[in-house]
Structure 1
């Protein structure tokens, strides 16, 4: 949280250039997430709130167009990015599906002198782009350590990988595996790939639990995965037998925690990510320097915190 507050001070107190201070025309940004998904709806809510605040504070019309791919598909996302570039917005706000697969399209934006900010992601190596989000390794580490404690540091566990090419999902997975490797009596027996789909996660989790009847627990690498896992645990009659520590704060995730199906969740604050991604994009469009990273922090959500 301290990092986020420092970033806020840096962004909002930065002196504007003479041109930026006198411009009064409208500004338009395009926000492109990984897919249609309730997590990104929350991020979009934060983005729209930031646009409304900036419009009121500056007297300029600041808008954010939200363009989400129907599914987590790199070629579809690149097509949306290319079409957005063709409209020459004041900035692009992106959540990458594939660092390598998105790079060429992002380079097109650079050539067109369109500023970019990434959220819930990491920028391609070597590209000078502000990244807004949580410490994804810390988030995965917190979830894996909580699960290890829940199962007494022993037993079979599984990981739902999300979209394996997505930089944030891949980083969480690596850090979760690193945690489990510290415990000689914990064995990772299976991984699933849900591609940010709750339905896919539910099907894969059910199949994995059938194949591994002694499975002790689950962690995930995306927001859809833990919801699908929780549904599978409930439907399989394994509530209390198979432990889960989830990610993020989708409404379905919170209900699974309230119901005792899922122990807890490490949330990366999607509304705050959307909000600060717009603030950073606005500053960059005005020609200001922006931080390399804006850390929006992590919340640990439990039944106890939900009851407050």
Structure 2
């Protein structure tokens, strides 16, 4: 974070590209960004922690107040998210920070923001094709591949496995699932026998995992595509008395996921660093608000969490 501070402070001193933006920057008026995640979820609470840290850094470096407004859909529903985006656009913020539920389904609302020249950054996601928007996040295919390879090695590269899909329209969830399936397809003695859909709900993931394990008593392992899935899977494994019998490699660093690793229910988790994603999403949004060009992609990296590293 010290490196991030130094880098962002350096950017603060960079001249802006237009006199209009320069006047706005010199006015000292508060900067207003709206962060819109997929849904209400503890993963996004961690991202918001990083976002607030970035806002505090900008204020310290420039003297300009930064307000980061958090608007989350109650459920992972595209129409609800679009409604929130449209209402945010109507307030003319200095930038929108979005985690997309559906890159095609969200496109019209994002086009409206672009028409009004409101800068946008996406995090934990990928932008719609053809839109010049910085994306902040981990390499989602690499993350899914890492989880699937760990599971394959845990089960001796043989047996029946299952995947919890998350939100099927979400670009990051879909990409992880595709790459997990490619890993399992490499091993002739492994077979994906079921895919659940939890729509980023721990409760739904738990119910689906329980039903899938009842339907497939020979199941040997699980991977997931979102942060809710592995928590629900772990709960189902524990409640079904299958700890140690059914292996799990999770995703991300929710407190419940960490506890499942400590308890030996899950072997590990591939974490996409939500705090860092929130931080750099705000930095990118700030730079766009100042008229600066920003990178196409900011890769925040992946942590492998195990009982030895926690």
- TM value normalised by structure 2: 0.95
Aligned residue among 236, 244, 247 for 2:240: 236
Within 1, Cα distance between the matches of 2:7 and 2:190? 43
Q: How does 1:55-204 map to 2 (within 5 A)?
A: 55-204=59-208
Instruction: Tell me how far 1:12 sits from its aligned partner.
Output: 4.2
Match of 2:274? 270
Contact 2:198-2:204 at 8 Å conserved across structures: yes
Contact 1:11-1:279 at 8 Å conserved across structures: no
Instruction: Tell me how far 1:174 sits from its aligned partner.
Output: 0.4
Residue 138 of structure 1 aligns to a residue whose secondary structure is helix
Count of matched residue pairs? 303
Q: Does 1:15 align with 2:14?
A: yes
Contact 1:50-1:275 at 8 Å conserved across structures: yes
Instruction: Tell me how far 1:207 sits from its aligned partner.
Output: 0.1
Instruction: Tell me how far 1:232 sits from its aligned partner.
Output: 0.1
Instruction: Tell me how far 1:26 sits from its aligned partner.
Output: 1.1
Contact 2:8-2:58 at 8 Å conserved across structures: no
Contact 2:125-2:171 at 8 Å conserved across structures: yes
Q: Deviations over 1:234-273 (max 9, x none)?
A: 0000000000000000000000000000000000000000
Q: How does 1:195-274 map to 2 (within 5 A)?
A: 195-274=199-278
TM-aligned CA distance change 1:45 to 1:181, over 3 Å: same
Contact 1:268-1:298 at 8 Å conserved across structures: yes
Unaligned 5+ runs, structure 1: none
Unaligned 5+ runs, structure 2: none
Q: Does 1:40 align with 2:48?
A: no
Contact 1:45-1:271 at 8 Å conserved across structures: yes
Match of 1:50? 54
What do you get for the CA RMSD once the two structures are aligned?
Answer: 1.7
- TM value normalised by structure 1: 0.95
Within 1, Cα distance between the matches of 2:82 and 2:109? 6
Q: Deviations over 1:43-73 (max 9, x none)?
A: 0111011111111211111110000000000
